[in-house]
């Protein structure tokens, strides 16, 4: 497997996992996820930013914009579920995480 295929597969699996965990009822989430909500969002989206940028290094702006839109989409979807609630501050935490992930990766290079 090439490095590019590894990062692309990792990115899409992480994206899918984030979506599933974001839409599950809170009482069905593993207890390991019971720490501060905004921190979860920031760490999760930092991880998405890093894997997305490693998977598609020539499309950095599209990856980050797409992930920001994905975060908004999650909040709207949570609002529609009836068992989760969307929160604009969660999206702010998502964007902070994207910035941290992008800066951390840029600093590493």
- 77-88 tens-digit pLDDT: 999 998 888 889
User: How confident is residue 28, by pLDDT bands cut at 50, 70 and 90?
Assistant: low
Q: What angle do CA 25, 31, 33 make, to 5 degrees?
A: 75
The CA distances from residue 64 to 1, 73, 88, 100, in Å, are 25, 14, 18, 11
Q: What is the rounded average pLDDT of the residues 11-23?
A: 94
**Does residue 108 carry a pLDDT above 70?**
no
Spans of all domains in the chain: 3-13+37-108
Q: At what angle do helices 88-108 and 37-55 cross, to 10 degrees?
A: 40
Which pLDDT belongs to residue 99?
Answer: 96
Which pLDDT belongs to residue 109?
Answer: 55
- As a whole number of angstroms, the distance between CA 91 and CA 74 comes to 9
Under 8 Å between Cβ of 33 and 40: yes
pLDDT tens across 29-48, in order?
Answer: 655 555 577 898 999 999 99
Q: Within 13 Å and on the Cβ side, how many CA atoms surround 80?
A: 6
């Amino acid at each position: 497997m090439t490095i590019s295929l590894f990062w692309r597969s990792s990115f899409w699996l992480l994206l899918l996992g984030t979506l599933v965990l974001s839409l599950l009822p809170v009482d069905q989430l593993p207890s390991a996820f019971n720490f501060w909500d905004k921190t979860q969002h920031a760490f999760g989206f930092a991880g998405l930013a890093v894997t997305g940028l490693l998977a598609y290094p020539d499309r950095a702006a599209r990856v980050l914009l797409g992930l920001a839109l994905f975060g908004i989409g999650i909040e709207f979807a949570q609002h529609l579920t009836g068992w989760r609630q969307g929160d604009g501050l969660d999206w702010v935490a998502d964007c902070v995480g994207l910035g941290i992930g992008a800066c951390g990766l840029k600093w590493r290079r």
